[in-house]
Chains A and B, each alone.
Chain A
Amino acid sequence: MIVLLLLHLGAALVAPALARWWGRQVFLPLALVPAAGFAWSMTRLPTVLDGGEVRETVPWVPTLDLAVVLRLDALGLTFAALVTGVGALVLLYCARYVEAGDPGTGRFAAQMTAFAGSMLGLVLADDVYLLYVFWELTTVFSFLLIGGSGARVAGRRAAGQALVLTTAGGLAMLAGLVVLARTSGSTLLSEIVSDPGEGRLVVVGTLLVLVGALTKSAMVPFHFWLPAAMQAPTPVSAYLHAAAMVKAGVYLVARLAPGLADVPGWRPTVLGLGLLTMLVGGYRALRQNDLKLLLAFGTVSQLGFLMVLVGGGGAELGKAGLAMVLAHGLFKSTLFLSVGVVDHAAGTRDLRRLSGLGRRLPVLAGAAVLAAASMAGLPPLLGFVGKEAAFTALLEGGVPDRAAALAVLAGLVLGSVLTVAYTVRFVWGAFARTPEPPDLPEQAPAELEHRPGPLFLAAPTVLALVGLAAGPLSPLLDPLLARYAEELPLYAPETEKLALWHGLQPALALSAVTLLGGAALFAVRGRVSRAQRRLKSPLSANAGYWNLLQALDRLAVLVTGTTQRGSLPAYLGTILATVLAIPGVVLVTRVEWPGQWRAWDSPIQAVVAVAVLAAAATAVRLRQRLAAALVVGITGYGLAVLFVLQGAPDLALTQFLIESITLVAFVLVLRKLPLSIVERHNRIEKVGRTVVAVGAGLFMGLASAAALSARTAAPVSEEYPALAYEVGEGENVVNVTLVDIRAWDTFGEISVLVVAATGVASLVFLRRRTGALARARGAAGGDAVRARRAPRGRWLSAGGTLQPQRRSVVLEVVTRLLFHTVVVFSVFLLFSGHNSPGGGFAGGLVAGLALVLRYFAGGRYELAEAAPVDPGVLLGLGLLLAGGTGAVGLALGGQVLETAVFEATVPVLGDVKLVTALFFDIGVYLVVVGLVLDVLRSLGAELDRQEEENDPIEAAPDEVILR
């Protein structure tokens, strides 16, 4: 079997090349491929009739239990014969249908052949996943075949619609199959059917699989894709949308019915929707004027019929169903192919414009009438046999519930009446001489455009004749169909063989009723169509589909528009809101809160807290960037005050200094930005943001409180004071911790500082690490003119380079007086840090602030005068010193960064204790100074220079992220 499938694949692959040489004749050899499949399946007939089966297993992905398991049993053989037989004839038909020299021939031929292969695979597959693969392949090829060359909008829409619906159904089916495979413990269809397992899951899985089957077979409410798919070329409609693909759903239901028909929900779904589909399809078919559309709705109706039969889950019904499947495959493809010939010959398919074709195309008309008779259920055709069997089965039971059986029967009879009516209308419209004057401007041409050749007529004729012959010969079919029916429970009192004549029975009367009713309906067709026009339903599944798609689209646009606008606060808000929603809820619901709460240790803390809170609230309200930055700074200073109150002067000092330096950096950057913050948010957004922000703040606060109260182990820091004094030989615990106990950390941190400083600088100075030192001396010449009206006394060495309106004498004087003092103080802090507040970090910051003062008072040249060194040198030196200290510790026999102490008495200074950690601290000091200098030079001096030298920046204004 796998060879057959590979044969199809190979044929599909070479088809485009062959088509280039042979043109449309390529279909003739291609038709041999499904024909071979047909022949092969016939050779296996004896095996199957003996109750055997043919099975092939090729492992594909063993890890996932995916294997190519093919199995041919009675059901499979029936469908395989139908699919390959009709496939071969349709390909034969294509050899004349396709215009000679059509450039799309190769593609079309390849797709048709590939489709035939996938369809064959679908009915042979025994593994559920393989089934799914073939299922989706048929979907994809159907999509390609409906879309055709893609030249027409309607074709594209129809192709897309069919694809979306059947793929969605296919995925639901996959989910269902996976569930069923889980419950039954096997991925083989045969084993699922024999033991589906039990429980709620089986129901879920079954219903999901049914969704797939129903969409594929165009059941209400998914039926609308099939008529739309009639955009496809006629052979495609005949094969995919009559004989083969739409039968896949029927096949699946037939395949699963033996095992799953008794699952709750199966019968209501299958029988109910099947009947509804039969009626809706028949009713709509009565209304169509396009022959092909008429057939399409007729197909919908017939599929409903088949679904009822194979889904009923009884032996008799199942047998009747299979007979009808064969009959339908034969007559519907004949009819479609005939319409193709009519279309080709007359140039139209509108039954109001066609007239008298029957006389001009007698062979075709004969075939079509035979097929139509089969569809209407006229003896002696196969359609009659099948319908008769169905009626009999239902009359005698057929489904477990007797009342349901009769209700279904009533529905089927009504549906059959409609079938007869539209069938007559079809034959009359296509072939009869229509006496009524058509009120259309354009009549069908009197002469045929093309006269169909024998090859063109071969396929419909053969199919029609088979349908004719199969009626009387139906007892020969019986053994095969009975093999399948054996798997199903028998609800009727006894089995009955398929035959043309069972004697005078109630079913025969029902057939007569349908025929008469249909004929009557046709007779009053004028009134019927007027009534139909009046009753035109406002509900349309097709419109519903497009509305649904549109709604989905609109929803997506709406959601995108509200959540994905590119706004950073909105993005952050999403993340924070999620944090509140998940960890936040965990926190609130599960945490053990501290046993007691103490508001404050001293009331001053409360005052500070109020000030901090007020500052935070003000920062949100302020419109001016600089002011906002300053107010944010207040929160930092407040924290420093809290440190003081807790008795940590060193931390407080550092915090104060850091806050100041940060402010300076802020100011330097913010002067480049627009002065005020533009507020563009409406009330709701503001409220939302406030909620998220306050919530996030509360979350962090509460989490900290919870974390503090959840402490069980003793804090590491308890040992620090003793360690600092005994090992580090210092009284300032913070400082000793920095330079000794946790010196490794500090070393890492200053490395990061160096990197950060370098990064800032390199973003501003593009070519070198830092700009050349622009000293005041070089600039003095040019600036002398400007400086003429400046104050005469030179308090600062480069003060004269500033423009007069920017100079401030007070600031210059203060700077002059303070600078050296501050620098000395910073050195003092550095040295005293070991035992009292201070240290390299604080000292460095103080020195940095001194430089800031010089820069603000005297401008960029002044900065160069104050610190005529490359910040890189400072940074490097600092790092070297700190690292060197570590090495020295190692050299002295200790560990890396271990402190060594030297004590000596020096004449002037008295007792001096030298701790090697001091050198480490000096390194820190240098790095910090270097950092501040770097920030000042890049964000301050260099930006000043760019402004003075007028480097314009033109941003392209239309560049926005598309959303």
Chain B
Amino acid sequence: MGDITAPDLSLAALAPLLFVFGAACVGVLVEAFGPRGNRQPVQLAVALVGTLGGLVSVLLLAGRGEVTAGGALAVDGAALFLQAVIAGLGALSILLFAERALDPARSAFVTSAAVPVGSPRDREQAMSPRVQTEVYPLATFAIGGMMLFAASNDLLIMFVALEVLSLPLYLISGMARRRRLLSQEAAVKYFLLGAFASGFFLYGLALVYGATGSIRLSDVRAYAAVGGADVLLVLGLALLVVGLMFKASVAPFHTWTPDVYQGAPTPVTAFMAACTKVAAFAAVLRLLYVAFGTSEWTWRPLVYGIAIVSMVVGAVLGLTQTDLKRMLAYSSIAHAGFLLVGVIALGAGSDGGGSGLSSTMFYLLAYGLTTLGAFAVLTLVRDGDGEATHLSQWAGLAQRSPLTAAIMGIFLLALAGIPLTSGFTGKFAVFRAAIEDGAWPLVLVAVLASAVAAFFYVRVIVLMYFSAPAEEGPTVGVPGLPTTIALAVTVTATLVLGVAPGPVLDLAQRAAIFVG
């Protein structure tokens, strides 16, 4: 029996992960032992210190490129860029979680999620002023899992990260304070389908290991380059892709997305839409690029096809939605397709020659910020029953609250990809990369899908500005500091990345390096 040698751990390179996971563990301890009275500020502080600490330590690591932890983790430009994105978006999401001014019950989260809906105890807790704080460590764990996902250099670590990020998400989607049955339905669906997807990932992992004898991405790459790709490897890859595309809510693995986005508490939806997407694509990029970069023919047709399906499904089905949260869910599916256009453009080889990687990374950043902001705006518009997400309730919003309507308008224009917003820059970058790679038919589809999708974004703007306000319509809440900060950051970023995206694009381009 061989001796188990301790892997070399570069603590510096792991610092971002340690920060976030450390904060999550501290959060658990606070939850267990902290006094109930001031748990909320303490938990918020811990979570913010963790995520922002993670962000700062990522920024300090910038420019590094090494493989550590016995080859299981790759701390390289792409990983650091995406980790920074995840940590930053995560911190903003946590701010949304912490909002207490909007809901009369002071939180979007139910005090005790396990209480059966409609039981006397449920009515009792609906009255109670207690605020649930478990969501902070859970979300921090999920953020940690996502950051690990982005840096995982071996399939097993990738799987572990997938589970670490998924399990808390399943849980917190079921924690809505209002419309609890919807929320629980969402959580159950997400969990069941997610479990299936994880199963596929695991099976694919096993097949890849069976074919190549290794779970290290670089070994898989070496094997695929030398031995060609035998059927087990291709089959394994296909199953891995199924698992990852599920998380990225790419059609046809998207079916859970609208239901879960609608059912989950809106801050959680924002978190999922922004961070999960980034993390899932980080893993997709790494898997396809590092492990299968030399055998592009194995995945290119597959990704090509699902990119088209995803764009078309997202754009066309988005048209019929009457609920804003569902509409944004379909938008997220369509954007997943646009992102895949960038993935297609990875270009042959891993020398960083193609601009697909950097443009996809930029797109992720831009999309994450915009969609997070859009969901944050949704939390502001409320009626007596909680958030008013039906389209008809948004009619004439500009007259009730010009500022809210303007902010939402900016986000929607960015999602539609109108120039001078980050959405245009991102779309432009990925389309351009794809054309350079010769995938112009795909870009054509993408452009058409953008046109269709633009229709439903603009429809909301038209509704907000040009319709008479509904009688007894919703009110626009005045957000507290956390949501205000989140909105300010996302709006500013959306505009800045549209008007002067140069520095960030350069950064993405410099960071677009995989080691492994």
Give A residues with C-beta under 8 Å from B. Answer: 59-64, 66, 129, 132-133, 136-137, 140, 147, 149-150, 156, 159-160, 163-164, 167-168, 171-172, 174-175, 178-179, 182, 201, 204, 208, 552-553, 555-557, 559-560, 563-564, 566, 568, 570-572, 574-575, 577-579, 582-583, 586-587, 590-592, 703, 706-707, 710-711, 713, 723, 727, 741, 762-764, 766, 895, 951-956, 959-963
Q: Which residues of B contact A59 (CB under 8 A)?
A: 502
Distance in angstroms from B365 CB to nearest chain A CB is 14
Establish whether residues A571 and B255, one from each chain, have CB atoms under 8 Å apart when the complex forms.
yes
**Given known contacts A167-B451, A578-B252, A706-B232, what 14 new A-B pairs fall within 8 Å (CB)?**
A64-B428, A64-B505, A132-B419, A149-B466, A559-B313, A560-B321, A568-B193, A586-B231, A591-B231, A952-B119, A953-B116, A959-B181, A961-B182, A962-B390
Cα separation A711 to B181 with both chains bound (whole Å): 48
B118 near A953 with CB under 8 A, answer: yes
Chain A: CB-nearest residue to B461: A143
> Complex Cα distance A449/B228, Å?
85
Query: B454 contacts which chain A residues (CB < 8 A)?
Result: 167, 171
| CB contact under 8 A between A952 and B120, given known A64-B432, A167-B451, A575-B193 | yes
Q: Are A564 and B258 in contact (CB under 8 A)?
A: yes
Whether B317 lies near A559 (C-beta < 8 A) is yes
Residues of B within 8 A of A (CB): 1, 3-4, 112, 114-121, 179, 181-182, 185-186, 189, 192-193, 196-197, 200, 203, 206-207, 210-211, 213, 230-232, 234-235, 238-239, 242, 246, 252-253, 255-256, 258-259, 262-263, 302, 313, 316-323, 326, 390, 418-420, 424-425, 428-429, 431-432, 435-436, 440, 443-444, 447-448, 450-452, 454-455, 458-459, 462, 465-467, 500-502, 505-506, 509
Bound form: Cα–Cα A642–B302 in Å = 38
CB-CB under 8 A for A587 and B193, given A713-B213, A766-B112, A961-B263: no
Interface contact A586-B320, CB-CB below 8 Å: no
Q: How far, in angstroms, from A570 to B258 measured CA to CA in the complex?
A: 14
Question: Inside 8 A of B316's CB, which chain A residues have their CB?
Answer: 552, 555-556, 559
Provide the residues of chain A in CB contact with B444, threshold 8 Å: 175, 208
Closest chain B CB from A868 CB (angstroms): 26
Known: A147-B466, A591-B231. A64 touches B425 (CB 8 A): yes
Inter-subunit contact B262/A962 (CB<8 Å): yes
The CA of A751 and the CA of B230, in the complex, are separated in Å by 37
The answer to whether B440 touches A182 (Cβ under 8 A) is yes
Q: Are B231 and A564 in contact (CB under 8 A)?
A: no
CB closest residue in chain B, given A168 = B451
How many whole Å from A159's CB to the nearest CB in chain B? 8
A208 to B316, CA, bound (A): 22
- In the bound complex, do residue A156 and residue B466 qualify as a contact, i.e. CB atoms below 8 Å apart? yes
Query: Of the candidates B1, B242, B431, which one forms a contact with A575 in the assembled complex, judged by CB atoms under 8 Å apart?
Result: B242
8 contacts between A and B (CB under 8 A): A66-B428, A133-B424, A140-B418, A172-B448, A178-B443, A707-B210, A723-B1, A953-B119
Asked whether, in the complex, the Cβ of B323 is within 8 Å of the Cβ of A962, the reply is yes
Expressed in whole angstroms, the Cα–Cα distance for A575 and B450 within the complex equals 25
Known: A140-B418, A164-B455. A63 touches B317 (CB 8 A): no
B354 shortest CB reach to chain A, Å:
14
Q: Given A163-B458, A557-B320, A766-B114, are A136 and B418 also a contact pair (CB < 8 Å)?
A: yes
**Closest A-chain residue to B319, C-beta based?**
A556
- CB–CB B4/A895 < 8 A: yes
Min C-beta distance of A225 to chain B, whole Å = 14
A807 and B514 CA atoms in complex are apart in Å by 68
When chains A and B are docked, how far (Å) is the Cα of A522 from the Cα of B419? 48
- Complex alpha-carbon distance, A129 and B427, angstroms: 13
Question: Complex Cα distance A710/B425, Å?
Answer: 47
Q: Pick from A64, A571, A741, A963: contact of B193, CB below 8 A.
A: A571
The distance in angstroms between the C-alpha atoms of A465 and B118, with both chains bound, is 79
CB-based contact B502/A160 at 8 Å = no
Partner of B428, one of A129, A560, A707: A129
* Shortest distance between the CB of B59 and any CB in chain A (Å): 20
Verify B432–A959 contact, CB threshold 8 A: no
Does B116 contact A568, Cβ atoms closer than 8 Å? no
Q: How far is the CB of A66 from chain B (nearest CB, A)?
A: 8
Q: Which residue of A lies closest to B3 (CB)?
A: A895
Q: Within 8 Å CB of B323, what residues of A? A: 962
Which residues of the partner chain A approach B242 to less than 8 Å between Cβ atoms? 575, 578-579, 582-583
B418–A587 contact, CB under 8 A? no
> Contact between B231 and A587 (Cβ–Cβ < 8 Å)?
yes
Residue of A nearest to B389 (CB): A962
| Residues of A contacting B182 in the complex (Cβ-Cβ under 8 angstroms) | 959-961
* A179 → B minimal CB distance (Å): 6
Give complex CA distance A960, B184 in Å. Answer: 11
Q: Is B230's CB under 8 angstroms from A571's CB?
A: no
Q: Which residues of A have CB within 8 Å of B419? A: 132-133, 136-137
Interchain CA distance A148-B322 in the complex, whole Å: 25
Asked if A556 meets B320 with Cβ closer than 8 Å, knowing A136-B419, A579-B200, A953-B116, the reply is yes
Closest-CB distance, B496 to chain A (whole angstroms): 12
